[in-house]
Amino acid sequence: MSGSDVTRHGVRRAWPGREALTGARAGRRRRRRGRGEQPMVPEAEFSSYYGKPVLNKPTWKALDIAGYLYLGGLAGASSLLAAGAQLGGRPALARPAKLGAAGAISLSLAALVHDLGRPARFLNMLRVFKPTSPMSVGSWVLSAYAPLTLAAAAADVAGRYRLAGSAATAGAAVLGPAVATYTAVLLSDTAVPSWHEGYRQLPYVFAGSAATAASGLALAAAPAGQAGPARRMAALGAALELGAFRLMKQRMGLAAEPYEQGRPQRLLRAAEALTAGGAALALLSGRVRDRRLGLVAGAALLTGSAALRFGVFQAGVASAEDPKYTVVPQRERLAAQGR
């Protein structure tokens, strides 16, 4: 520094107010050296403008839509079981499965229309067909499936038009798997984190849940001597549901957290216990041929399937209300892409 750099105002091009540290501040800065840079900004809290969530939570009524999910799965799997029982010469098993499918799909459609507000809104969804829209595809599948189940049940009860009844039973069985699982695709296609992040496994969870519900209804209504296919469906459905749900939560990351908290956790724990216990009792009822054991197993499986659907619905609503389930996964994906 030359003499020309010094003026009566101080050293030229030096700003002590910005660069100089004096007193205790300088001591603290010196003591911090060697320990790494200390964060000067507090951790960000996930909030949104004016206290509103990042996503608008679903406005669907819980009883209507969760019931629609449950009853649709029960109907679709029951149609598949009915067709198998009819082919296997088990009329006492086929009849309750057909009646259960017809009743469940009727109630499912009633719940959907009640949530929509008026029947015309459902009919409006049939004005176009969009293969890329789960709602559009599902509406058309339901419109084709419901008349087939009603025709199959009516023909069985009347004991007439057996050829038409068999054709309706076969048609309902073909559409049954789609009816049982398309609602999982519908939920996964939304922006709700705890539904969207599970898009790979959620259809399998719903398929297993539908199978346990249908087998539970059959075990409760059919004679033990003809309920063998229902017992096997209960075991396979429970294994699929519980295994796929556990895998889904492992792969979802942070978005799985709402499934482990509050009311969704209680519902899902009850669903797991009822499904596993019901499947075990179903297999046991085949060995002892006890009608009462079949009734208990059927009730447990039906209740467990319902608890799963309501738990999944409630977890999705909870994840939409908390912004961190939207923001954190987005940041993690951006970081993984190196942006």
Which tens digit of pLDDT belongs to each residue from 158-182? 888 889 999 999 999 999 999 999 9
Domain ranges of the chain: 58-320
Pick 328 or 222 by higher pLDDT.
222
**What confidence tier does 43 reach under pLDDT thresholds 50, 70, 90?**
low
Q: What is the pLDDT of residue 192?
A: 92
Q: What is the pLDDT of residue 48?
A: 58
Which residues on neighbouring strands pair with residue 11, listed in sequence order? 6
Check pLDDT > 80 for residue 287: yes
What the block records as the tokens of 277 is 């216990």
Cα separations in angstroms, 20 against 25, 32, 34: 10, 16, 20
Q: What is the pLDDT of residue 49?
A: 58
What's the whole-number average pLDDT of the chain? 86
Check pLDDT > 70 for residue 222: yes
CATH topology of domain 58-320: Formate dehydrogenase/DMSO reductase fold (1.20.1630)
Q: Is 0.75 surpassed by the pTM of this model? A: yes
Residue 241 DSSP one-character state = H
Rounded distance between C-alpha atoms, residue 182 and residue 190, angstroms:
13
Cα separations in angstroms, 170 against 81, 151, 175: 11, 11, 9
Among 108, 182, 105, smallest CA distance to 145 is for: 105
What the block records as the tokens of 313 is 């619905």
CB atoms within 10 A of CB 218: 32
Q: What is the pLDDT of residue 8?
A: 54
Cα separations in angstroms, 107 against 29, 48, 100, 173, 178: 71, 39, 11, 19, 18
Q: What is the DSSP string of 132-196?
A: T-HHHHHHHHHHHHHHHHHHHHHHHHHT--HHHHHHHHHHHHHHHHHHHHHHHHHHHTSS-HHHH
Rounded distance between C-alpha atoms, residue 93 and residue 165, angstroms:
16
> Max Cα separation, the chain?
116
Q: What is the pLDDT of residue 24?
A: 44
Q: What is the pLDDT of residue 21?
A: 45
Residue 89 φ/ψ region, left for φ over 0, alpha for ψ in the -120 to 50 degree band, beta for the rest: left
Three-state DSSP at 11 gives strand
What the block records as the tokens of 54 is 């990042």
Rounded distance between C-alpha atoms, residue 78 and residue 173, angstroms:
8
Pick 315 or 35 by higher pLDDT.
315
Task: Give the pLDDT mean for 309-327.
Answer: 90
Rounded distance between C-alpha atoms, residue 180 and residue 168, angstroms:
17
**What confidence tier does 322 reach under pLDDT thresholds 50, 70, 90?**
confident
**What confidence tier does 145 reach under pLDDT thresholds 50, 70, 90?**
very high
Check pLDDT > 80 for residue 9: no
Among 321, 95, 305, 100, smallest CA distance to 183 is for: 305
Beta carbons within 8 Å of 46's beta carbon, 6+ residues apart: 322, 323, 324, 327, 328
Rounded distance between C-alpha atoms, residue 99 and residue 69, angstroms:
18
Check pLDDT > 50 for residue 323: yes
319 contacts 255 by C-beta, under 8 angstroms: yes
